[in-house]
Amino acid sequence: MFKVYTPSEMNETFARAFNSRTLENLVSLYEPNAILLVDGSGERAAGLEAIGRELAKLLQAPGTMVSKNNFCVVLGDMALLRADFVLRDGATIIASGSTAEVIRRQADGSWLYAIDHAAGASLPSV
């Protein structure tokens, strides 16, 4: 399992968890009542079980992920993040985009996703 103690390291840690190819490492980055949105449909996975099902689908994709923070805005025990990511299989780009997330500091000082919108910053303007 991975722990994040610096909010700006959250997205890089997500990529490391993905690259470990272990579902438990990914799920461990979420609060028990977190929500995950994977696209612009508005459909959400709520809670660790549902989030785990969505992340298991992600793990079926080949390649290695790199994710870098575009910004991290911290206010007390919350932080707003945007990350730019790319998933590559060799020279082939499998997926890329920009995420939007809210993370929250936990009692032990670690940070977990409360809201993760995997495509949130990649959606077209309305």
Identify the residue whose tokens are 């890329």. 96
Residues 87 and 67: beta-carbon distance below 8 Å: no
Pairing of strands 92-105, 111-117: antiparallel
Taking the CA of residue 12 as centre, how many other CA atoms within 13 Å lie in the half-sphere pointing to its CB? 11
Give me the domain span that covers residue 46: 7-117
In a domain, 124, yes or no: no
Residue at 68 is within a domain: yes
Number of domains composing the chain:
1
- 125 found inside a domain: no
In which band, very low, low, confident or very high, does the pLDDT at 85 lie, cut at 50, 70 and 90? very high
Q: Tell me how crowded residue 92 is: count the other CB atoms within 10 A of its CB.
A: 9
Structure tokens at 19: 């690259």
**Within a domain: 19:** yes
The pTM for the full model equals 0.93
The pLDDT-based confidence of 124 (bands split at 50, 70, 90) is confident
Closest CA to 27 of 42, 44, 11, 14: 14
Rounded distance between C-alpha atoms, residue 107 and residue 29, angstroms: 14
pLDDT digits (tens, 9 = 90+) for 44-80: 999 999 999 999 999 999 999 999 999 999 999 999 9
Which H or E run contains 14? helix 10-20
The CATH number linked to 46 is 3.10.450.50
pLDDT > 90? residue 40 = no
Residue 15 lies in a domain: yes
Structural domain includes residue 2: no
